[in-house]
Structure formats: structure tokens, C-alpha cells
Amino acid sequence: MIQQGIVATISGTTVWRWLSQDAIRPWRYRSWIFPRDPNFSEKAAPILDLYTGVWQGTPLLPTDYVLSADEKTSIQARSRKHHSLPTQAGVPMRIESEYHRRGAWVYLAAWDVHRAKVFGRCELENGIGPFDRLVADVMVQEPYRSATRVFWIVDNCSVHRGLKSVDRLKSQWPNLHLLHTPVHASWLNQIEIYFSIVQRKVLTPNDFESLSHLNDCLLGFQQRYQQIAKPFRWTFTRHDLAQLLSKAASCPKAEAA
């Protein structure tokens, strides 16, 4: 601006203030991902309908239930090399930056969408066995054991991917219906909201003496949260999905390499 004669002198602070107030800020960006699943709408719309209490155009029965499930993997137990100092008046908690690794859990959890109930367990490894144990923890209990239908919403992780997982679980629990979110669409799975709460309330900062301490904190919070939980206020509907996909379709796409 000085070289072009717009101003005689100007400070960097003034330039930064102008840029911050401008309508277009090219240094800011937001990551997102285009829908890659060719059957995105066909897979996502029924899940959104279930959140509103509808299945195939018909309201759910009182004996139908909807659960959202997933795994939060590699949750490390980090034991700090110096004891954390608790908060005081005007002083935040102080956490030692160096730590010992005490192992890691896979936290598997299922969220009852309409009843606001959460079920979870810690496993040393992820796999078909741990996931099936989570399913069993839920399905042996009432009201799920005697339910007309229990819809389980999951992503495309290898332990519950495809028709094999549908058939495997159906053979064990005839009233269980497994639904998969579209590829790269875990944001449609409500359990991710609960995991975000766990991340903030339990795992930050990460300071656990042992794996058993971490296990107790995860399951203790789960029990406490269930006492005060309410269904998540989910507002994204089938109509919103159609608008989003229409918007994505109108955006220019990069040419395939």
C-alpha cells in the first residue's frame, strides 16, 4: 500500500486489523470431505429416519429400539513423571508434559438413541470378538432381549463391515438389524457425540496411573453420565441430507489422477 501510494505510512497492526474485519479471509480454511459412497443417500436416509422414530415410512413400535455403536481405539494411559498439581483459586491445574506409557484400551460403546442409555466396555484389542461381546452385553438385557426390533447403527470398520457381519449378528440375535453408515460418514453416528464428551470430560488431560485406573474412570463416567443423560437433540433430517448432497453435487470436483 505504501509502494502504490495508497498511504504514506501504516503499521502492521493496522493492516492485520483491516484484514481481520474483511469479508473474505483467504488465509482461513475449513477441511471437509465430498461424499464418496455412490449409495450415500440410500444408506444415510434410513438412519436419519430412525433418529426421528420412523422406519420405512412407518413410525417405530414402542417395542423397537435404536442403538448407535462404535469403538474408540488406542486410548493410552499416560502416567505423568511428576504428580499433577490441582487447581487453586486463580491457578489452573498443572500437568507434567513428560509421561510413562502404561498401555492402551479400546473403548467400545453403544448409545440408545431414544432412551439415552449408554453401554460400554474396555478391551485390550479391537476385533469381532470384543464387538460381539458389547452386543451381547446389550442384547441379553431387557427390553432389548424381548424387543420386536433392535436397530444397530455402525460404521464400516472391518469388525462389523458388510453382509457377513449382518448375517453373523442376525444368527445370534434374530431381532437385531444392523445398518451401516455410508463410507466416510461417521458424523451420522450419534455415538460419536458421546465419544466427544468422553474425550473432554475424562481423557483431557490424560493422567492415569495404570490401565485399571483408566478403565475405572471410563466406566465410572459412563455410569454417572447415564444418570443425567438425555437424548441428543438431533436436527439433521432426510430433507437436510438432500440439500447437502445437492450442494456437494454442484461443487467442482478435482479430476481423477
Residue 214 grid coordinates: 483408566
* DSSP state at residue 159: G
- How is domain 40-83+96-230 classified at the CATH fold level? Nucleotidyltransferase; domain 5 (3.30.420)
Question: Cis before residue 35, ω within 30 degrees of 0?
Answer: no
Mean pLDDT for back-to-back runs of 10 residues, the chain (257 residues): 87 86 82 84 96 97 98 95 90 92 97 98 97 98 98 95 95 98 93 97 95 97 95 95 87 63
Q: Which residues contact 137 (CB under 8 A, 6 or more apart)?
A: 119, 121
Please report, for the chain, the start and end positions of each structural domain, with discontinuous segments joined by +. Answer: 40-83+96-230
pLDDT at 255: 61
Give pLDDT tens digits for 148-166: 999 999 999 999 999 999 9
